[in-house]
Amino acid sequence: MPYKTVLAAAAIAICLPSPASAWGQLGHRVIGEIAEVRISGKTRAELELILGEEDLAEASTWSDEQRSNPATFWQREAGAYHYVTVPEGQTYAEVSPPEEGDALTALDRFAATVRDPNASREDKALALKFIIHIVGDVHQPLHAGNGDDRGGNDERVRWFGNETNLHSVWDTQMIEGKSLSYTEYAAWLDRQIEPGDTIEWWEANPQVWIGESTQIRDTIYPAAGQEIPSLSYDYQFEHLATAEMRMQQGGVRLAAYLDWLFRP
């Protein structure tokens, strides 16, 4: 390929928007690690029958890692399963899911597969890994998008001087700025979860999680005024604790949902 053609292709690739990927690998693995210590013994055994030695943290990122899989399912269908759309001032119950489905319709579909005695172990593993991922996704506030800006992907900002978008700030840049491994971060956040928090947050209804995300979402956009808002320490101070709480809640809810999924 001629040198100029290579440069042009690279430039186009850089300009293309990256797909939404809630929390990135760090956040999803933190959620999986927090859930791992909260699932029941029965749930743990059921997971092992399907996933073998793969733990929740490892399984949590698989659905994002398959985005480059050329199979039709991953390229034409699965992308819609990472988010929901809820316009400002409405609830998910008031909004019909799109024809292509969304995170909540996918949860229902994959839960049915895991519970189907006739489904293959391979199909159950795909469904289960997607469930683990989706629970994390919908706890990221911008994965309950308002329908106007692709979940904050079109909201351009500068994060400590570097141009990016609001979705990326919440997915990765705020939490990865802590420079912790997922096991360190999970252990630190887990120690802060009080018994009363676990009781209060133990909720397996996805519409509750989505409702919380939409309420938070509408409070995290930068104030209007600058063409490209500059975000740094002030924004991080105001919102990092919320991002960390959503990972804590995501871990508790993942355990709650899996216990519900495998309940007799």
Domain definitions of the chain by residue range: 20-261
Name the pTM for this structure.
0.90
| Residue-level pLDDT at 11 | 36
Amino acid letter at 143? Answer: H
End-to-end CA distance of the chain: 59
Strand partners, 162: 159
Contact 261, 111 (CB under 8 A): yes
Closest-CA residue to 38 (of 204, 211, 185): 204
Residue 180: phi, psi to the nearest 5?
A: -115, 150
As a whole number of angstroms, the distance between CA 255 and CA 52 comes to: 18
| Residue-level pLDDT at 83 | 96
List per-block mean pLDDT (blocks of 10 residues) for the chain, which spans 264 residues.
36 36 87 98 98 97 94 93 96 93 97 98 98 98 96 96 97 94 98 98 97 97 88 97 98 98 92
| Residue-level pLDDT at 21 | 55
In CATH terms, the fold of domain 20-261 is P1 Nuclease (1.10.575)
